[in-house]
Amino acid sequence: MKFKTLLLTALAACLIPALAQAEGRSVGGDQDGQRKGPPSQKERGERFANTDTNGDEQLSLEEVQSADAKRLVEHFDKIDANGDGQLTKDELKAAHKKRPKGKGGPKGGKCANCKSDA
């Protein structure tokens, strides 16, 4: 009887992380399944690729709107440096570096995605 209890307890302990991942949550992470901290370079690249629905390596205003990227829509014209109606990765990187210091960053003015100030 003790062996069955011990075996079932060990099995349950092994299944908890798998069940948490199956629900989209991370064990020890946020309860709502959201990632902690700034997105990684890989995550930003994936987000760009997912938003770029026609695969032209540029984001149109329509693509950004359909991705429900509210801040990007709001600042689209400022980010579009050459005014061609498309955002490239280089324009997004340049706009990110131009962000005002001390705005919304969790590190007191430091850009959360960069090693140096924004």
Q: Is the pLDDT of residue 3 over 60?
A: yes
Q: Strand 59-60 and strand 86-87: pairing?
A: antiparallel
Number of folded domains that form the chain = 1
Residue 66 lies in a domain: yes
This prediction's pTM: 0.57
CA-to-CA distance for 109 and 118, rounded, in angstroms?
8
Residue 11 lies in a domain: no
DSSP 46-109: HHHHHH-TT-SSSEEHHHHHHTT-HHHHHTHHHH-TT-SSEE-HHHHHHHHHHSPTTSS-TBTT
Q: Is the pLDDT of residue 91 over 50?
A: yes
Residue 54 lies in a domain: yes
Q: Model confidence over 26-85: pLDDT tens digits?
A: 444 444 555 567 778 888 889 999 999 999 999 999 999 999 989 899 999 999 999 999
CA-to-CA distance for 33 and 21, rounded, in angstroms?
9
Q: Which pLDDT score is estimated for 27?
A: 44
CATH number at residue 85: 1.10.238
CA-to-CA distance for 49 and 84, rounded, in angstroms?
19
State which residues form the domain around 88: 39-101
